Homo-oligomer: A and B are copies of this chain.
């Protein structure tokens, strides 16, 4: 009986831990980021069309404009709702999609099609912001995320132009309101 009781308690603690633990990120020994398998089930922050910079922008010039979908890990999202800040271990996944304009009943406007790029911004365990690029081919991610060097343009652009910490909260309507209420918008942020 004591053993069954102990087992029940153990299962219970595991269930509770799974509910409250951070969405732990994984890295290879070489420091590459492992793609979180279920990032498409993370919390969606917003999407834009034709806003893409960097390598993806070059692709866009060849085809139609690209959509960018931004997802954040659920534990960090809930922490932000309470504090207006991103905890260490936060990850943003930028899921970049090709667009089409004529298909099915759609005669105008644009809808999303295949994956054309995948990037991550991470606040690591020391509170440092880092960027990773996941190579894609034929609409699928093909390898782990490569750490981008500190000289990559994303570092300076995010550092200079973001509304909250190193993140473009000005483009996430529901979170900007939280940050304003919590007083975590950067003092030098210009809308």
The residues of A with any CB-CB pair to B shorter than 8 Å are 1, 4-5, 8-9, 11-12, 15-16, 19, 40-41, 43-44, 46-52, 65, 67, 69, 71, 74, 77, 97, 103-106, 108-115, 139, 157, 161, 163, 168, 170-171, 173-174, 191
Q: Which of B41, B69, B173, B174 contacts A43 (CB 8 A)?
A: B41
**10 residue pairs from A and B, CB less than 8 Å apart:** A1-B5, A12-B12, A41-B43, A46-B111, A49-B67, A49-B109, A51-B110, A52-B109, A103-B191, A106-B171
Copies of this chain present in the complex amount to: 2
CA distance in complex: A47, B19 (Å): 29
Cβ contacts under 8 Å, A71 to chain B: 44
Q: Which of B41, B51, B106, B168 contacts A74 (CB 8 A)?
A: B41
Q: Which has the most chain B C-beta neighbours within 10 Å: A4, A44, A104, A108?
A: A44
